[in-house]
Amino acid sequence: MRYPRARWRGERCAAVLAAAVILSACSHASTPDAADAGTPSRFTSLFSGAAGASVPAAAGSGSAFNGADCPNVDIRDGAGVLTINSKPAEAPAGVRYQLNFTDVARQCTVVGPSLVMKVGVQGRIIVGAAGGPGPVSIPLRYAVVREGADVRTLATKFKRIEVEVPPGQSNLAFSDVEESLSFPIPSRADLPGYMVYVGFDELGDAPEKKPAPKKPAPKRKDAVRGIGAPG
């Protein structure tokens, strides 16, 4: 799935320094959830640490990479909610599950000439009128995009995670961490245009439909027998 030229919101938080020349930083953007009030987010401990600092970037990049410059994460416009209906769907009675995101986080690590991002998402499954206990398949798409006049997708990853809804539960949380979004370290001038987009992608692993093969043009009789040839 291609990502459109849309401006996405992002929030910054404190950067994280891992060790020596390995730099990491975290970003946190939460949606309040009454069910989780007072409960620390999974990402609070997963993507947290000391204040960030800068380290030398790869040769030829022209400047150091600073933890605060780790690309922001945002939910792709139009892909933040997924509704799973019964078949045939009869809304609203036909809604089995509705999924949405509640939290995102990211961490950057410099590995040679590359920037490797670990991106985490947290969300919630709401059981609808037609839903109940059982497995829920969640299609997730991660993409690193360089915005601007020439929009480019630099790294992308699709995955499906399986979550089991237990009996008697009307909603539950889900989470996933993608650890290997890697791309060349951008220049200081290009860094502000880098974003990571996350969203539900129902068509992410669907087989691509190939166009039907063209039928060969029928042969003309005079081409077969030869023009002027005796009958």
Confidence of residue 65 (pLDDT cuts 50, 70, 90): low
The single residue listed with the structure tokens 């005079």 is: 222
Output the average pLDDT for the chain.
73
Confidence of residue 53 (pLDDT cuts 50, 70, 90): very low
Q: pLDDT digit string (tens) for 135-151?
A: 999 999 999 999 988 88
Give the start-end residues of each E strand in the chain: 15-19, 22-25, 27-30, 54-55, 65-66, 72-75, 81-85, 95-111, 114-127, 134-146, 152-165, 171-184, 194-200
Give residues with Cβ within 8 angstroms of 7, minimum separation 6.
147
Q: Of the given ranges (21-25, 39-43, 94-98, 181-185), which has the lowest mean pLDDT?
A: 21-25
Task: Give me the sign of the Cα torsion angle 89, 137, 81, 157.
Answer: negative
Question: What does the pLDDT average to over 19-47?
Answer: 43
CB atoms inside a 10 Å sphere around CB 195:
21
Give residues with Cβ within 8 angstroms of 212, minimum separation 6.
none
Question: What does the pLDDT average to over 71-95?
Answer: 86
The single residue listed with the structure tokens 């909610």 is: 81
pTM flag (> 0.75): no
Q: Is 135 exposed, middle or buried (0-12, 13-18, 19+ CB in 10 A)?
A: exposed
What one-character-per-residue DSSP string does 95-152 give? EEEEEEEEEEEEEEEEETTEEEEEEEEEEEEEE-TT--SEEEEEEEEEEEEE-SSS-E
Q: Say what the pLDDT of residue 211 is.
A: 62
Q: Say what the pLDDT of residue 67 is.
A: 64
Q: Of the given ranges (22-26, 126-130, 153-157, 193-197), which has the lowest mean pLDDT?
A: 22-26
Q: Say what the pLDDT of residue 222 is.
A: 58
The pair of structure tokens assigned to 64 is 């150091």
Q: Say what the pLDDT of residue 46 is.
A: 57
Q: Say what the pLDDT of residue 180 is.
A: 87
